[in-house]
Amino acid sequence: MNIKNIIYKRKSIRKYKGEPIEKERLLEIKELIKNVTPLYKEIKMQGLLVENGVEIQKISKGIIGSYGKIEAPHYIVVTSEEKEGFHENIGFAFEKLVLDLTHMGLGTCWIGGAIKKELLNGIVEIPENQKPVVLIAFGYPEDSNIFNIELSSGHKRKELEYIALGTLNDTWEEIFQGVRRAPSAVNFQPWRFYKDHSEIHAYVTEGNIITRNLAHFSKLDMGIALCHLKLMCEYKGFKVEFINQDLPKRKGLQYVITIKVK
């Protein structure tokens, strides 16, 4: 299955079969976790596999800001140093893992929310100077027909012209259709892209008084969308480079990064 189909197939899965994933598969997943590709190499982060999901289910009340209870057989706790850009870094690196798991027929769901480090004592070993940032639940979906592409997430998104500005030919429309399907916390879709010839400038919405305290989620969401953008560009035969041009704000939008394509 090509990456475009995997992107279209992925959706957040909130109900899982109870049984764990086969041991060999978990080993394969452990390798994938170890080898995720960061956006910013200099920021240390880690994905810690929790094989026995019950351990996370027991502390789920202590995860502030996550919505709904998601009981999965396994979770990944993502930890990071708190350096400029760490949220985007996590989103970018671990969305590729989410897509790899989707390709294996597994369900996934990002779970945001503040997790107290102490709650994870005895469950995972958090590296020094890092904090837990986000969880990813995964396992076999309870409903095995759930990945039916007809029922995919495309309809739950803002229109393309709202998130991608500039002149878009068919190729670029196809690329941004893949970006548009990126998951985001509370389906907020805070990403906006300005295409200017071979450069795409990425911005996140600053939000209003109520949504402003979701700003850290927006950065995570942006990392996720940048992962989709890179994969879709490569799928269409482009080479991608990320550069920081320190562009000024646009109305209600904060600049994040520029993607140069060749």
Q: Compare residues 68 and 122 and give the one whose CB is closer to ligand FMN.
A: 68
Question: Is 80 one of the binding residues for ligand FMN (CB under 6 A)?
Answer: no
116-175 binders of ligand FMN (CB under 6 A): 134, 153
Rounded Cα gap, residues 196 and 167, in angstroms: 8
Least separation, in Å, of the C-beta of 164 and ligand FMN? 18
Given 85, 107, 112, 190, the residue binding ligand FMN (CB under 6 A): 112
Given 224, 225, 232, 261, the residue binding ligand FMN (CB under 6 A): 224
Question: Is 9 one of the binding residues for ligand FMN (CB under 6 A)?
Answer: no
Least separation, in Å, of the C-beta of 119 and ligand FMN? 16
Q: Pick from 175, 256, 224, 231: which is nearest to 12 by CA?
A: 224
Question: Is 77 one of the binding residues for ligand FMN (CB under 6 A)?
Answer: no
Pair 228, 7: CB distance under 8 Å: yes
Degrees (nearest 5) of the Cα angle 240, 83, 216? 80
Least separation, in Å, of the C-beta of 33 and ligand FMN? 17
Residue 128 makes CB contacts below 8 A (sequence gap 6+) with none
Contacts for 155-158 with beta carbons within 8 Å, 24 or more apart? 156/187, 157/181, 157/187, 157/189, 158/189
Residue 146 makes CB contacts below 8 A (sequence gap 6+) with 11, 13, 107
Q: Pick from 86, 83, 87, 79: which is nearest to 128 by CA?
A: 79
Q: Point out which span in 26-34, 42-50, 103-111, 232-240 binds ligand FMN (CB under 6 A).
A: 103-111
For residue 2, CA distances in Å to 38, 62, 75, 99, 145 come to 22, 38, 25, 11, 19
Q: Pick from 180, 185, 186: which is nearest to 164 by CA?
A: 180
Least separation, in Å, of the C-beta of 156 and ligand FMN? 6
Q: Compare residues 225 and 259 and give the one whose CB is closer to ligand FMN.
A: 225
Question: Is 111 one of the binding residues for ligand FMN (CB under 6 A)?
Answer: yes
Q: Pick from 225, 126, 116: which is nearest to 180 by CA?
A: 225
53-72 binders of ligand FMN (CB under 6 A): 66-68, 70
Residues 177-196: x where in contact with ligand FMN by CB under 6 A, - otherwise, as a string: ------xxxxx---------
Least separation, in Å, of the C-beta of 217 and ligand FMN? 5
Binding footprint of ligand FMN on the chain (CB under 6 A): 11-12, 14, 66-68, 70, 109-113, 134, 153, 183-187, 217, 220-221, 224
